[in-house]
Amino acid sequence: MTLQNSANHATVADLGERGLLALIAPHVLSHRGDVPVGMGDDGAVVRRDDGSVEILTTDMLVEGTHFLRTAATDWAALGRKAIAVNVSDIAAMGAVPKYALVSLGTPACMPAAAIAALYKGMAAEAARWGAALIGGDTVFCPHLIVSVTMTGAKPDQQPIPLRSNCAAGQNVFVSGHLGASRAGLDLIMDGNLKSHIHHPYAADLIRRHLRPEPRVELGAALVRIGRPFAMIDISDSLCNELRLLDEASRRGFRIETDKIPVSCGLKAFCADTSRRALDYALFSGEEYELLFAMDIDEQRLKERLHNEGVETPVARIGVVTDAPEVVFLDVKGKEIMISDMTFLHFGR
């Protein structure tokens, strides 16, 4: 089916998320003098008259897709998360957050106290990163939607870590550890896991899902190191973000799966539930760690980050290759065949 036929006859479900983006792309400004980076990265880049650059990003949380509206919902925590996911996009561009606009779609039956707690959480999370809520919009909607648009700032002379900057021979790194967010979501949603809720690891896994930790200091430090590099935040899954880097840079990856960092809590959860920690590490969404490729070895990178005052853990998990494909290797260096289990918004 051609794109034109897709536009005329297909549904969004037929197109899938990437097909939908391809349909939209011709109508979105991708480049001009004052917009060096448009659609296709974690944020757009706008060049201001004084020579500095501004990062703009937007993200939303939608009832039924990202959260459930129940009597037990922690509205302040949801507000914090709505801001944090946008802060993570700003961090992935090597910038620091500045301002946020919030558009709220809400049912008329929403308790006023819940909305107040939601905004209190958003304001607190923004203030944590030196940003501020400065306005927005409110409309009626049968389902709750929290849409945030955020700006970020960075000096113009610093490199912009675009997804297309991958180069063969670069090492591939990831911050923190992966998989815990999806495990936390499973603990919340899967009734078969109720008996595990009171295990020592459960609170940390659930917290990881509900309260993501944007890596602002790390992103800003990486651009100060001054080397051209590629970066993306892990919002959908490690597997998905690797493929996005692959498509943007036309480079491939050899990923050593035994090097992907996972927490002790996730390992304990998987041991108790007979699940594979690797599946969580590869396909967990809403992690908001940074995935980046840079021409520097692991020890030297850690030394440079330490000198920058950043103690966020980073781990080398592979290397960029010329061949435009993502290859996963086991501990013996043998290729593993992977079936992508990343959550897809439109089923494909």
Do both 206 and 295 map to the same domain?
Answer: yes
Do both 258 and 241 map to the same domain?
Answer: yes
Within a domain: 34: no
Mean pLDDT, 10 residues at a time, the chain of 348 residues: 59 81 77 76 85 90 89 92 97 96 97 97 97 97 97 86 95 98 95 93 95 96 90 96 95 97 97 96 96 96 96 97 94 90 66
The per-residue pLDDT for 262 is 98
Within a domain: 137: yes
Count of Cβ atoms closer than 10 Å to residue 293 Cβ: 27
Do both 58 and 172 map to the same domain?
Answer: no
E strands in the chain: 44-47, 53-62, 96-106, 132-140, 145-154, 171-175, 230-233, 252-256, 290-294, 314-321, 326-329, 335-336
Do both 87 and 145 map to the same domain?
Answer: yes
Whichever domain contains 188, its CATH number is 3.90.650.10
- Residue 44: partners with Cβ closer than 8 Å, 6 or more residues away: 35, 37, 38, 55, 56, 57
The total number of structural domains in the chain stands at: 2
- Residue 136: partners with Cβ closer than 8 Å, 6 or more residues away: 101, 102, 103, 104
pTM metric for this prediction? 0.91
The per-residue pLDDT for 198 is 92
Do both 193 and 251 map to the same domain?
Answer: yes
The per-residue pLDDT for 141 is 96
Within a domain: 347: no
- Residue 128: partners with Cβ closer than 8 Å, 6 or more residues away: none
Tell me which of 132, 154, 176 is where a domain ends: 154
The per-residue pLDDT for 346 is 58
Q: What is the residue range of 285's domain?
A: 163-336
Tell me which of 154, 180, 210 is where a domain ends: 154
Within a domain: 20: no
Tell me which of 125, 154, 183 is where a domain ends: 154
Do both 75 and 107 map to the same domain?
Answer: yes
Within a domain: 327: yes
Within a domain: 91: yes
Do both 150 and 172 map to the same domain?
Answer: no
Give alpha helix (H) positions in 62-111. 75-92
Within a domain: 105: yes
The per-residue pLDDT for 345 is 67
Q: Is there a contact between 311 and 237 (Cβ–Cβ < 8 Å)?
A: no
Q: In angstroms, rounded to a whole number, what is the distance separating the alpha carbons of residues 118 and 74?
A: 8
Whichever domain contains 49, its CATH number is 3.30.1330.10
The per-residue pLDDT for 1 is 46
Of 35, 26, 36, nearest to 6 by C-alpha is 26
